[in-house]
């Protein structure tokens, strides 16, 4: 079976294609499918026109057009569409029903109605993009936000099947009038690199084919898949290759001998003041506790977070590592005793499928998370982590303190967290549902 997966951006700068589409594709390749990821790398222009293989998956970065006013987006959409149609795929899987991939979906749906295309059209949603979702965070003009909301709803209604990453998205799509038999729950999972992978698809040096790439690119370039974006120890997240602002050795010295709470975040999931309040309550019970923050905000929110810590006199008890490469994460996580996953109870958070929580659990961290959306799908309370009610600082702090004072329970929860991800959320198991979607099987009634 030939599959074309179509995205809205490059492979690594944003999450969906690198941590959802790619591991899904890798698992499909292991089962004999031919999979191409078609991506417009506007967020990584250095990849313009380059094609290469990652564990047997062909990654096709379309060539970016000249930056002409008004024409650029239409031109780029046309190139994504042309590269997608060139695959002559049995299945076209659209990731996010908006922007470039969403426009490709509109054209393919029209071609199917005219009898000019035969591919099965599957639309994937892993976030709520419209009102109540990402529209609330983005700074687009109102007409653009309106179009995004309309486009999302249209794309979710016009297809052969929909894959959803969360139970909340499942309900939202059902609420749009989509038949339940067309909706398939495929949560985000974890990819254990090279685990039981046949040698034919194992990571190896592969050629890179310029696809009309930028000037100066030679005929063939050899790269090793994962260079610069390797997910060490099988971590599914693959962040941009920014160096951490604080090195591991420095952090290790700062945190040595102190109970440490880990916050791994992009900051948009919660109100910073609430997390600072929780940390203050933890320090009141365990005064020597330190906070390790890994990650950075979309718009510099980490600076606001530090300012709030300073207002409460807690800035000297916090270490901010900044954004870290994926291959640095295991060592950073190992510095902490307890990881926290705060989430405001919003539509955006209920709909999202949190990859960072998966990475924490797969790394064996003991996690305290607020019970919002998918956190209850991944964490079995009291077995593979602790869940607390959202917006209840007292309960949140109490759970953290209890684990800080109980090393044996921390170890047990961390071990079971990793086991739960491996047993229930490994992409090599989750892909069973994807194959059923591609084969045309109805979703559960």
Task: Give pLDDT, residue 166.
Answer: 97
**Residue-wise over 197-214: b if at least 16 C-beta within 10 A, else e?**
beeebebeebebbbbebe
pLDDT band at 149 (very low <50, low <70, confident <90, very high): very high
User: Which pair of tokens denotes residue 110?
Assistant: 């029209």
H-helix segments, 260-391: 272-285, 301-311, 329-333, 347-351, 355-362, 375-378
Identify the weakest region by mean pLDDT among 21-35, 137-151, 172-186. 137-151
Identify the weakest region by mean pLDDT among 239-253, 267-281, 302-316. 239-253
Contact 221, 411 (CB under 8 A): no
Question: For 205-226, how does the pLDDT look when each residue is reduced to its tens digit (9 = 90+)?
Answer: 333 333 333 322 222 322 322 2
Q: What is the mean pLDDT of residues 89-116?
A: 97
pLDDT band at 193 (very low <50, low <70, confident <90, very high): low
Above 50 in pLDDT, residue 195?
Answer: no
Task: Give pLDDT, residue 325.
Answer: 80
SS3 at position 385: strand
Task: Give pLDDT, residue 214.
Answer: 30
User: At 151, which helix (H) or strand (E)?
Assistant: helix 142-157
Above 90 in pLDDT, residue 135?
Answer: no
Counting residues of the chain whose pLDDT is more than 90, the rounded percentage is: 75
pLDDT band at 246 (very low <50, low <70, confident <90, very high): low
Contact 175, 168 (CB under 8 A): no
Contact 385, 403 (CB under 8 A): no
Cα separation, 101 vs 77, in Å, equals 8
> What predicted TM-score, i.e. pTM, was given to this entire model?
0.85
Higher pLDDT, 15 or 252: 252
Cα separation, 166 vs 179, in Å, equals 17
Q: What is the mean pLDDT of residues 137-145?
A: 90
pLDDT band at 234 (very low <50, low <70, confident <90, very high): very low
Task: Give pLDDT, residue 326.
Answer: 79
**Spatial CA neighbour of 107 closest among 43, 154, 148, 67:** 154
**Spatial CA neighbour of 187 closest among 348, 375, 28:** 375
H-helix segments, 326-371: 329-333, 347-351, 355-362
φ, ψ for residue 386 (rounded to 5)? Answer: -120, 140
Task: Give pLDDT, residue 15.
Answer: 80
Cα 414 to the center of its chain, rounded Å: 22
Task: Give pLDDT, residue 281.
Answer: 98
Task: Give pLDDT, residue 165.
Answer: 97
| β-pairing verdict for 120-125 and 91-95 | parallel
Cα separation, 426 vs 253, in Å, equals 35
Domains of the chain: 2-189+194-229+427-439 (3.40.50.2000), 248-424 (3.40.50.2000)
**Angle, vertex CA 107, rays to CA 104 and CA 112, nearest 5:** 125
Task: Give pLDDT, residue 226.
Answer: 29
The overall average pLDDT reported for the chain is 87
User: Which pair of tokens denotes residue 93?
Assistant: 């899987």
Question: For 356-388, how does the pLDDT look when each residue is reduced to its tens digit (9 = 90+)?
Answer: 999 999 999 999 999 999 999 999 999 999 999
pLDDT band at 99 (very low <50, low <70, confident <90, very high): very high
pLDDT band at 34 (very low <50, low <70, confident <90, very high): very high
**Spatial CA neighbour of 404 closest among 390, 388, 386:** 386
Contact 290, 262 (CB under 8 A): no
Q: Rounded to whole angstroms, what are the CA distances from 383 to 11, 232, 235, 412, 423?
A: 34, 26, 22, 8, 14
Task: Give pLDDT, residue 442.
Answer: 85
């Amino acid at each position: 079976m030939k599959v074309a997966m179509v995205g809205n951006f490059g492979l690594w700068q944003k999450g969906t294609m690198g941590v959802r589409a790619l591991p899904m594709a890798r698992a499909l390749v292991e089962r004999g499918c031919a999979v191409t990821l078609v991506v417009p790398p506007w967020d990584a222009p250095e990849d313009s026109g380059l094609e290469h293989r990652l564990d047997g998956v062909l990654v096709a970065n379309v060539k970016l057009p000249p930056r002409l006013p008004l024409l650029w987006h239409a031109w780029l959409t046309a190139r994504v569409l042309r590269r997608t149609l060139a695959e002559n795929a049995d299945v076209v899987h659209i990731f996010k029903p908006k922007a470039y991939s969403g426009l490709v979906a509109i054209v393919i749906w029209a071609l199917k109605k005219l009898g000019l295309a035969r591919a099965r059209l599957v639309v994937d949603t892993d976030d709520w993009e419209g009102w109540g979702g990402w529209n609330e965070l983005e700074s687009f003009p109102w007409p653009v936000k309106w179009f995004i909301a309309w486009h999302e709803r249209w794309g979710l209604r016009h297809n052969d099947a929909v894959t959803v990453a969360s139970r909340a998205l499942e309900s939202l799509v059902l609420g749009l009038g989509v038949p339940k038999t067309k909706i398939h729950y495929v949560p985000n999972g974890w990819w254990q690199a090279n685990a039981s992978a046949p040698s034919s698809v194992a990571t190896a040096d592969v050629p890179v084919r310029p696809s009309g790439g930028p000037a100066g690119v030679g005929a063939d370039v050899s790269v090793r898949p994962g260079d610069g974006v390797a997910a060490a120890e099988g971590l599914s997240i693959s962040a941009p290759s920014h160096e951490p602002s604080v090195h591991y050795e420095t952090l290790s010295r700062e945190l040595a001998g102190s109970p440490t709470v880990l916050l791994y975040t992009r900051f948009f999931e919660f109100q910073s003041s609430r997390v600072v309040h929780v940390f203050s309550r933890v320090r009141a019970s365990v005064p020597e506790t330190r906070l390790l923050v890994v990650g950075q905000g979309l718009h510099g929110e980490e600076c606001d977070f530090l300012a709030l810590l300073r207002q409460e006199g807690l800035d000297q008890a916090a270490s901010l590592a900044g954004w870290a490469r994926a291959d640095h994460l295991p060592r950073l996580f190992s510095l902490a005793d307890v990881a926290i996953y705060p989430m405001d109870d919003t539509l955006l958070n209920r709909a999202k499928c949190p990859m960072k929580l998966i990475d924490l659990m797969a790394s064996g961290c003991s996690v305290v998370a607020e019970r919002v959306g998918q956190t209850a799908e991944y964490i079995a309370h009291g077995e593979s982590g602790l869940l607390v009610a959202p917006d209840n600082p007292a309960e949140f702090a109490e759970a953290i303190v209890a684990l800080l004072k109980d090393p044996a329970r921390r170890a047990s929860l961390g071990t079971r967290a990793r086991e739960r991800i491996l047993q229930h959320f490994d992409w090599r198991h989750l892909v069973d549902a994807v194959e059923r979607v591609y084969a045309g099987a109805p979703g559960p009634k």
